Chains A and B, each alone.
Chain A
């Protein structure tokens, strides 16, 4: 997950607002790219896993599928602020030379990494956004395309008074023209940008790359334009992140473009190796490098022919239609287009593909949950009332509540939980003639619960409610004077209601839960039943793996 960088979006907004270029991109224009990836975070920020890798992938696609000569693509991994500014200066020199020669030019600026309110965070260093904006805006390119993959990078929509990103439709992008500034951001102003272990990339950059490889070529002209890439990345990122624990992520696009004609980003048709997905193939496809298992494309294939431009090599492709899946091995020789034929491919069980990225669910599935707390209002009932009738008075009893269990997250909203909880306890004593009688009990419940979860606006914070049922076991001990104690074990049904909040980290979550348990296991010979104790409040930890 990329941490919030609200001001990166502000930067994007300023760039978009300040764009004044009128050059006409397309054939004949010189294309330059500055591609930056930075994994390290600053103080209080975690280390990203895929930012630098994503930058490398973007650079590769621009070199091989775009009109970006290898010498015009500057890839900076884990750079210092000075290195970024120097790269901008170098590109600026070449842009000015182009301008002097009357040539049009395109600048593609990509950044993936951490940022804070007013600066990019580059490990222990920061690059002020104002400085970066000033340098980029000073570049004399005809067209500037800025792509930001960082949290809340779409906040510029609000800056410009636009509607929230969720309403940002294709139609608003269709006005795109060919000169000026376009800024694509990985998420809206209030959202987090997320990385995916399964994809080995950030969601946004992954789907942007898949689009650029050809999946985004909606009109089938062999080229992927900015609006096509945006549409594809928007849809796929939104669909994928809707199933994550953090929540949906809306890709945004702000433009200040003039002229006519699409802004072409890549030309998959020119690739030296292509995987062709035939018109009749309708399935979910997962394309992975055979040797490493790295995911290069996750595609929802609908009607129409799709060309995926890929580096030559061996791939395995999981083709899934509903619950049925086949796994195909495909070799893409240089200069060849190979059409995928799932017919002869062996069937695989979905679970078998899990280790290679099969399941679509990215959030942790199995967890161990522990919690400790207290019952905060002991509830009297007929059972304890009867104890009073028989001369017993309440004795000190620690109203501890604890629970340990396991959970399985079956969907974005639903988690199944099995837990063993201490739901009730009590201690009573009675002063006799010459001795004291003691009666105490403890009730445990083994419950199976359904837990519904709803992410809140605050990042990583999830509200949940749970309802469960199971069995309860009450163990009681009666000690009358010096007589041997009488121990009894009684069983009954159990039910529980709970609600709470969870703050999620990567593999650990902290929960605050309140709930009430109904566990009528303890019963006396007169038919009175102890139905349970009062509500509890517990602090818990969840360990996911």
Chain B
């Protein structure tokens, strides 16, 4: 490992440490008063089932959300962990008719498993409070309000905050999902605990250490379970990741080269057929900002037309022809580098950025 690479790793480690997440100051739940609406969509909340509507609560100007239909669920995945919160207090103000069955569900790790389900009694706007002890270890919680039945349900407030008033232990989570941090394979449902990245000291529950752990014809590579979990090593089709996507080994990359934690067109420092030098692009930002990025691909003369016709590319400037065709935008979370479609797909505080075109090829 040369000195430059070491410096980059230190910067990357620092970036990891200071990645935005739950900081203990902001509300545990965002848009807890259901007042923020992004058009007709409830901001920060995911409508998993059914439909919702914006309705007034105590005042014509103070909105709540009505859960319409007989099976409706809204959820919010929050990047909090056991190191932040060991006890949660919920204050809920809602109109819940007798004929409606409403539960507050907690899905630790956001892996689709409902770990806690708390019935919410019928209420005529009375304030209801809960104290829920948290598990000794978890990363991220998916909060879900699930309504079943025909009765009318309007949520006005669901406020959650850290508390020290819990008595008793929280639920015990027997095994951790893919992407959850781990110390050994025994903690993982997959029985495998692997470092998330070369040079990293962080390990997560994964499926493989290398291709040999996968079924024949599959390659072990970088995968992501949810935005609140780290990446993990999983099995999949060889070459499934395009130029610019995060990688662990060349087998998972369509280019066959994994360099700088990203599927690359060439190896750094080499000279390409066009005579251009293989290097990283600086189009994502300044030097200081670039240093915090986990993954940046190596390309032949990036932004300088160093790629010949048929070579992989991200932007038109990469190609000697000035034209890079692909299958739409390649969007990744800044710094983190995981694929995304919008900011909410990224860890808290990170934006989803377009860094080029997916599967681009120079014309």
Cβ-defined contact, B60 with A389, below 8 A: no
Task: Give Cα A387 to B58, complex, Å.
Answer: 9
Min CB distance B254 to A, Å, is 41
- The stretch from A68-76, A430-438, A455-463 touching chain B is A430-438
1/0 per residue, CB under 8 A from A, across B6-30: the answer is 0000000000000000000011001
Task: Give Cα A488 to B159, complex, Å.
Answer: 27
Q: Does B87 contact A (CB under 8 A)?
A: no
Give the 4 A-B residue pairs with the shortest CB-CB distance, closest first: A486-B61, A478-B61, A389-B127, A524-B58
Task: Give Cα A489 to B134, complex, Å.
Answer: 46
Min CB distance B33 to A, Å, is 6
Cβ-defined contact, A390 with B32, below 8 A: no
Cβ-defined contact, A486 with B156, below 8 A: no
Contact of A480 among B26, B27, B32, B35 (CB under 8 A): B35
Task: Give Cα A525 to B60, complex, Å.
Answer: 8
Can you name the residue of chain B whose Cβ is closest to the Cβ of A387?
B58
Cβ-defined contact, A389 with B57, below 8 A: no
Min CB distance B73 to A, Å, is 21
Min CB distance A488 to B, Å, is 7
* A478/B62 contact (C-beta < 8 A), A390-B57, A433-B36, A526-B125 known: yes
> What are 12 A-B interface contacts by the 8 Å CB criterion?
A390-B33, A390-B57, A432-B32, A432-B35, A433-B27, A437-B35, A481-B35, A486-B59, A486-B60, A486-B61, A525-B59, A526-B125
* A390/B62 contact (C-beta < 8 A), A432-B35, A433-B27, A437-B35 known: yes
Cβ-defined contact, A430 with B33, below 8 A: yes
Residues of A within 8 A of B127 (CB): 389
1/0 per residue, CB under 8 A from B, across A444-480: the answer is 0000000000000000000000000000000000101
B-side residues, CB < 8 A to A, are: 26-27, 30-33, 35-36, 44, 56-63, 93, 124-127, 156-157, 159
Task: Give Cα A432 to B35, complex, Å.
Answer: 9
Residues of A within 8 A of B44 (CB): 433
Residues of B within 8 A of A486 (CB): 59-61
Residues of A within 8 A of B56 (CB): 525
Cβ-defined contact, A488 with B35, below 8 A: no
Can you name the residue of chain B whose Cβ is closest to the Cβ of A430?
B33
Contact of B30 among A391, A433, A478 (CB under 8 A): A433
Contact of A389 among B36, B59, B126 (CB under 8 A): B126
8 Å CB contacts to B: which residues of A355-387? Answer: 386-387
8 Å CB contacts to B: which residues of A388-402? Answer: 389-391
Can you name the residue of chain A whose Cβ is closest to the Cβ of B64?
A390
Cβ-defined contact, B61 with A390, below 8 A: no
Can you name the residue of chain B whose Cβ is closest to the Cβ of A391?
B157
Task: Give Cα A389 to B127, complex, Å.
Answer: 6
Secondary structure at the A interface, as helix, strand, loop or mixed, is loop
Cβ-defined contact, B156 with A390, below 8 A: yes
Cβ-defined contact, A525 with B157, below 8 A: no
Task: Give Cα A391 to B161, complex, Å.
Answer: 13
Residues of B within 8 A of A483 (CB): 61
Min CB distance B97 to A, Å, is 14
Task: Give Cα A137 to B156, complex, Å.
Answer: 93
Min CB distance B201 to A, Å, is 34
* A391/B60 contact (C-beta < 8 A), A386-B125, A526-B125 known: no
Min CB distance B98 to A, Å, is 18
Task: Give Cα A391 to B93, complex, Å.
Answer: 9
Most chain A beta-carbon neighbours within 10 Å: one of B35, B61, B63 = B61
Contact of A524 among B27, B36, B59, B63 (CB under 8 A): B59
Can you name the residue of chain A whose Cβ is closest to the Cβ of B93?
A389
Residues of A within 8 A of B159 (CB): 391
Cβ-defined contact, A389 with B157, below 8 A: yes
Task: Give Cα A485 to B31, complex, Å.
Answer: 19
Cβ-defined contact, A433 with B32, below 8 A: yes
Cβ-defined contact, B93 with A390, below 8 A: yes
Residues of A within 8 A of B36 (CB): 432-433, 481
Task: Give Cα A485 to B159, complex, Å.
Answer: 24
Min CB distance A524 to B, Å, is 4
Contact of B31 among A433, A526, A528 (CB under 8 A): A433
8 Å CB contacts to B: which residues of A411-439? Answer: 430, 432-433, 437, 439
Min CB distance A477 to B, Å, is 9
Residues of A within 8 A of B59 (CB): 439, 478, 486, 488, 524-525
Min CB distance A197 to B, Å, is 57
* A433/B62 contact (C-beta < 8 A), A389-B127, A525-B56, A525-B57 known: no
Cβ-defined contact, B58 with A391, below 8 A: no
Cβ-defined contact, B125 with A432, below 8 A: no
Cβ-defined contact, A391 with B33, below 8 A: yes
Task: Give Cα A483 to B37, complex, Å.
Answer: 11
Task: Give Cα A322 to B94, complex, Å.
Answer: 69
Residues of B within 8 A of A437 (CB): 33, 35, 62
Min CB distance B65 to A, Å, is 14
Task: Give Cα A528 to B126, complex, Å.
Answer: 12
Min CB distance A443 to B, Å, is 16
Task: Give Cα A390 to B59, complex, Å.
Answer: 11
Given contacts A389-B157, A391-B33, A480-B35, 19 further A-B contacts (CB under 8 A): A390-B62, A390-B93, A391-B93, A391-B157, A433-B27, A433-B31, A433-B32, A437-B33, A437-B35, A478-B61, A478-B62, A480-B62, A483-B61, A486-B59, A486-B61, A524-B59, A525-B59, A526-B124, A528-B58
Residues of B within 8 A of A525 (CB): 56-60
Residues of A within 8 A of B126 (CB): 389
Task: Give Cα A351 to B350, complex, Å.
Answer: 85
Task: Give Cα A526 to B125, complex, Å.
Answer: 8
1/0 per residue, CB under 8 A from B, across A522-533: the answer is 001110100000
Can you name the residue of chain B whose Cβ is closest to the Cβ of A432?
B33
Most chain B beta-carbon neighbours within 10 Å: one of A390, A480, A486, A528 = A390
8 Å CB contacts to B: which residues of A504-523? Answer: none
Cβ-defined contact, B61 with A526, below 8 A: no
Task: Give Cα A293 to B56, complex, Å.
Answer: 71
Cβ-defined contact, A390 with B31, below 8 A: no
Task: Give Cα A389 to B91, complex, Å.
Answer: 9
Task: Give Cα A439 to B57, complex, Å.
Answer: 14
Min CB distance B90 to A, Å, is 13
Cβ-defined contact, A488 with B57, below 8 A: no
Task: Give Cα A313 to B300, complex, Å.
Answer: 130
Task: Give Cα A408 to B196, complex, Å.
Answer: 88
Task: Give Cα A485 to B60, complex, Å.
Answer: 11
Task: Give Cα A524 to B247, complex, Å.
Answer: 57
Cβ-defined contact, B58 with A386, below 8 A: yes
Task: Give Cα A480 to B43, complex, Å.
Answer: 15
Residues of A within 8 A of B63 (CB): 480
Can you name the residue of chain A whose Cβ is closest to the Cβ of B124?
A526
Residues of B within 8 A of A391 (CB): 33, 93, 157, 159
Task: Give Cα A433 to B126, complex, Å.
Answer: 22
Residues of B within 8 A of A485 (CB): 61
Task: Give Cα A437 to B63, complex, Å.
Answer: 12
Task: Give Cα A250 to B131, complex, Å.
Answer: 78
Residues of B within 8 A of A524 (CB): 58-59
Can you name the residue of chain A whose Cβ is closest to the Cβ of B43?
A433
Can you name the residue of chain A whose Cβ is closest to the Cβ of B92?
A389
* A390/B157 contact (C-beta < 8 A), A433-B30, A433-B31, A526-B125 known: yes
Min CB distance B209 to A, Å, is 42
Min CB distance B43 to A, Å, is 9
Cβ-defined contact, B58 with A526, below 8 A: yes
Cβ-defined contact, B58 with A488, below 8 A: no
